[in-house]
Amino acid sequence: MISREEVHRLAKLARIDVPEEEEGKLQKDLEAILGYVEKLKEVDISDVPEMTHAIEARNVFRADEVNPPAGGGGDDKNILLTDQFPEEEAGYLKVKGVFGS
């Protein structure tokens, strides 16, 4: 049984204002909720698997394969539009700097 003092304490913790005329109803509602929780504790759930979602969700995995570009050629540079990078240094494509010096 939940006392009026416990209803006041819960209302204070929840930072809600419960008018006096609603305290009795709230007290009965809380008792009903806790009674239902106690009833649920009686259910044997030892054979029920744990679940993390209401619906079964699975990741879809695929093999990590490298596919050659549509234009052919196995050179990685051909994948990029190398005409947009006119300069090259030590095998790397140079781009215009974004920070001023």
Q: How far apart are CA 11 and CA 18, in angstroms?
A: 7
pLDDT of residue 76: 57
Q: Are strands 92-93 and 88-89 parallel, antiparallel or unpaired?
A: antiparallel
Our CA angle for 83, 87, 93, nearest 5°, is 80
Q: What is the pLDDT of residues 29-66, one digit of tens each?
A: 999 999 999 999 999 999 988 888 888 878 888 888 87
CATH number at residue 26: 1.10.20
Report yes or no: 93 and 85 within 8 Å, Cβ to Cβ. Answer: yes
Query: How many domains does the structure of the chain reveal?
Result: 1
Q: Is residue 61 part of a domain?
A: no
By residue range, what is the domain housing residue 29? Answer: 4-41
Q: How far apart are CA 82 and CA 93, in angstroms?
A: 8
Q: Is residue 84 part of a domain?
A: no
Residue 81 has pLDDT above 80, yes or no: no
* Global confidence as pTM: 0.47
Residue 90 has pLDDT above 80, yes or no: yes
